[in-house]
Amino acid sequence: RDRGEWVISRQRVWGVPLPVFYAENGDIIMTKETVYHVADLFEQHGSNIWFERDAKDLLPEGFTHPGSPNGEFTKEQDIMDVWFDSGSSHRGVLETRPELSFPADMYLEGSDQYRGWFNSSITTSVATRGRSPYKMLLSHGFVMDGEGKKMSKSLGNVIVPDTIVKQKGADIARLWVSSVDYLADVRISDEILNQVADVYRKIRNTLRFLLGNINDYNPATDRIAEADLLEVDRYILNRLREFTAGTLDHYESFDYLNIYQEVQNFINVELSNFYLDYGKDILYIEEKNAHKRRSMQTVLFEILVNMTKLLAPII
């Protein structure tokens, strides 16, 4: 609503040409015949041919126009705005690759693209296809340093992702992404990453505990039917289902921060502070095949399987 008319031409040395010709009297020549002919030349020789050949060699053989009695023509020197290029990617990518489909499920870019790629894409698509090229948009803020300052080489505050991965591991980098509200600008620093690393270690240690305590459990032969589980085990199983359903809902809405917070809450409050602490004596002291022990192992197995799946996108 706030945008004016889009001037799609630019004065640059090189780019995507505007397939426009001019007659001797200044008449504009841009017909279906001339445009398709130029398109065929581009397909055969690439767009550089526009800059390499004279206008008469870019027009169909034998082409005439009443405004050019001497058969002389000139070609447009301006190029297409690069936003028109990127805004037409739905035509060049989605509609030409068999593994993809139009419209795209989602366009993802920085919050500065509402007036850029998002806008040019929907403008070109609605004009030529009558609909948006995407089903939904997801935008994100930008990464700042720990003090909220824009990263700059001159300030020496640039944090390179490869450095994070080498020093702390890819899991920490991935988990950090889920720990921030990406809709706004986000901060990153060694201190922040160390805090995320502490959360990661808690998750890892909890999963190791689960894995270690079902070492002698075979779900095919040792599983206890839900109706026969102890009450506390049924309670945790129900909490697991609620946690799983909530987490899946958050994934559907790309709400990774809530996933990060819910994972911490489930592991710290439901498991570490309550269920696993309660169950240590059962796991360590009860007979191997005791009903109470197998009941708890049945639930631990379900927790481990579900947690592994739910954490896979963010760790």
Average pLDDT, the chain: 93
- The residue type of 62 is G
d(CA 188, CA 190): 7
d(CA 117, CA 234): 51
Domain positions in the chain:
9-80, 85-140, 187-311
User: Against a cut of 0.75, is the pTM above it?
Assistant: yes
At 217-247, the pLDDT tens digits run 999 999 999 999 999 999 999 999 999 999 9
Ordered DSSP codes for 179-237: TS-TTS-EE--HHHHHHHHHHHHHHHHHHHHHHHTTTT--TTTSPPPGGGS-HHHHHHH
Asked if 9-80 and 187-311 have one fold, the answer is: no
Domain topology for 187-311: Isoleucyl-tRNA Synthetase; Domain 1 (1.10.730)
Neighbours of 208 (CB within 10 A): 10
Beta bridge partners of 107: 137
The two three-digit tokens of residue 60, written as one number: 């169909």
Question: Per-residue confidence at 147, pLDDT binned at 50, 70, 90?
Answer: confident
Question: Per-residue confidence at 1, pLDDT binned at 50, 70, 90?
Answer: low
3-class SS of residue 80: strand
Domain spanning 9-80: which superfamily?
Answer: Ile-tRNA synthetase CP2 domain-like (1.10.10.830)
At 239-283, the pLDDT tens digits run 999 999 999 999 999 999 999 999 999 999 999 999 999 999 999
